[in-house]
Amino acid sequence: MSDPAESAPEPSPPPEEAVKEGVHPEEGETTDEATLHEGGVELERTIGLGGGIAIGVGTMIGAGIFVFPGLAAGEAGPAAALSFAIGAVIALLVALPTAELATAMPRSGGGYYFVSRAMGAAAGAVVGLSVWLGLVFASAFYLVGFGQYAVATLAEVGISFGGVGPVTPLALAFGALLTAVSITGTENAAKFQNAVVGLLLVVLVGFLTYGVFDALGIFGRETAPETFMPFGAFPVVTTAALVFTSYLGFAQVATVAGEIKSPSRNLPLAMVGSVLAVGVLYVVTIFVATSAFGSERLAEFGETAIVAVARDLLGPVGAVAILLAGLLATVSSANASILSSSRALYALSRDALVPRRASEVNLRWGTPHVALLLAGGPVLLLVAIGRVEVLAEVASFLHLVMYGLICVALVRLRRTNPEWYDPSFTVPGYPVVPILGAIASFGLLAFMQPLSQVVGVSIMIGGGVWYRVYASDVELRGAL
């Protein structure tokens, strides 16, 4: 994927630095190459359009293809494809406001940075700490999934370990590897992400293309007719709430906005483009899966439904291919989440909302190595402890809160119109789009498991307590 150049100058974002106990960091400005300060360079812009799309797509491709088809079809029948389409529309309602804010404030931190500048340090601290921990939880979930897919792939080719196999050791090894790759250079992590996502898309597009031809009868197979909406309309909506967790990745592009080349052009394209690409893949996946077996049979397969579909269409080779795709999907999701988690913590540290040490940049590799260790280290600890399934939904809860607040932040900035707010991309259909995005994001919280709601709220309360105890004297320059 190419990295198109952009010659137009970027609008200057608000000063990001904070004042705390006599600390007065230098004022900064952004360029297409880096974020510059009087004291030196913050983070070099090394991620192009292809890398941005790879982060968004690589984070989102996962449960929507490798976990949800059987579960969703059991709830809504073939109309589960419509549920995924509804999820994509909701994601776009949030992606568009996020893109506008990102072009006005192309700094590392994403949702934290936007909320803190529009709603103050307290709200920023709660969101920033929640996003950091949420991405840590999600990364651990992805790595455990990688270990499970690795063991299943080996079993498919005749290598069996008995029991659950070395799931945890494999997850720990790759978690350490991904953290090391990110520390040795963002460009290295972006190249790795491009390669993994590129190979993943080749496998998935090939499989789904064959599946579509098969479903349409081009290969001579007959598909049993089935009512599109066998359980009515309401299950379609509730299933949309279930599968929306598959779209919680596009905002990771904004989290690394400080390292995106030509942000005024590449940020909106990467966020909106990744949602559209993944949405199409999800809808086609449900069509292929329900055409192969029918929704009732798919529901019996449960979380392994897509592997059964691949085996039915292409035999053992198809099963191995889709298992390998699952490996690639979990690796790319974990890689993007570790990278994004560290940038959220980095932005918090630059604002003095957490200790300043976390914003140190390695002079050799130009990466926030301390923040990366504080992202990768807890991930490995959670993987070793196990039981990360609940944490994955907690991560979704925290993301939805951030998405709703991002939409609120956009409305607030548009209404107050500070001098520094000069986005190069503006949301079409304002104010309807951000208002609907906020309502949809907050509304989906009601459909989550009670335990996830309790844990998510507890984390947010903990973030508020941290702010009061540690950072209540912080003043964010440029914040409203």
Half-sphere exposure of 269 (CA within 13 A, CB side): 15
Report the mean per-residue pLDDT for the chain: 83
What does the pLDDT average to over 56-66?
81
Q: Note the pLDDT of residue 224.
A: 57
Cα three-residue angle 192-66-344, rounded to 5 degrees = 50
Spatial distance between the Cα atoms of 304 and 129, rounded to a whole number of angstroms: 34
pLDDT at 3: 43
Kindly indicate the confidence band of residue 92, based on its pLDDT and cuts at 50, 70 and 90. Answer: very high
User: Given 3.90.1150.10, 1.10.1740.10, 1.20.1740.10, 2.60.40.10, which CATH number is that of 46-418+427-471?
Assistant: 1.20.1740.10
- pLDDT at position 197: 84
Judge whether 474 and 16 are in contact, CB under 8 Å: no
The structure tokens listed for 244 are 């929306």
Residue 352, SS3 per DSSP: coil
Cβ–Cβ under 8 Å, residues 248 and 399: yes
**How distant, in Å, are the alpha carbons of 141, 176, 309, 338, 389 from that of 374?**
17, 12, 40, 10, 21
- 35: β partners: 30
The two three-digit tokens of residue 380, written as one number: 């490995």
Identify the DSSP state of 19.
E
Mean pLDDT of 374-386: 89
Q: What would the pLDDT profile of 200-241 be if each residue is shown by its tens digit? A: 889 999 999 999 988 887 776 666 567 788 888 888 988 888
Nearest CA among 441, 379, 416 for reference residue 118? 416
pLDDT at residue 222, as a whole number: 60
Looking at residue 126, its pLDDT comes to 94
pLDDT attached to residue 66: 82
The continuous run of DSSP H or E covering 30 comes out as strand 28-30
pLDDT in tens, 104-122: 988 877 889 899 999 999 9
Between the CA atoms of 198, 200, 206 and 210, what dihedral angle is there, to the nearest 10 degrees?
-150
Condensed to tens digits (0 to 9), the pLDDT of residues 401-445 reads 999 999 999 999 999 999 889 998 999 999 999 999 999 999 988
Q: Is the dihedral of CA 252, 396, 293, 157 positive or negative?
A: positive
Is pLDDT at 470 greater than 60 in this prediction?
yes
Q: What is the domain partition of the chain in residue ranges?
A: 46-418+427-471
40-44 and 18-19: which strand pairing? unpaired
Band (378; pLDDT cuts 50, 70, 90) = very high
> 3-class SS at 36?
strand
**Helix, strand, or coil (residue 354):** coil
**Percent with pLDDT over 90 in the chain:** 32
Whether the pLDDT of residue 148 is over 50: the answer is: yes
Query: Residue 20: which pLDDT band, with cuts at 50, 70 and 90?
Result: very low
Other residues' Cβ atoms within 10 Å of the Cβ of residue 162? 5
Confidence of residue 337 (pLDDT cuts 50, 70, 90): confident
**pLDDT digits over 244-284, tens only?**
878 877 877 877 777 788 888 888 999 999 999 999 999 99
The mean per-residue pLDDT over the stretch 133-159 comes to 86
Chain mean position to CA 374:
19
What whole-number distance in Å separates Cα of residue 165 and Cα of residue 388? 17
Model pTM above 0.85: no
- Position 446 scores a pLDDT of 86
Q: Give the list of residues 6+ apart from residue 327 with CB closer than 8 angstroms, or none.
A: 146, 149, 150, 153
Measured distance CA(59)–CA(61) in Å, rounded: 6
Cis? peptide before 431, omega within 30° of 0: yes
Task: Decide which of 184 and 35 is more confident.
Answer: 184
| Per-residue confidence (pLDDT) for residue 428, from 0 to 100 | 92
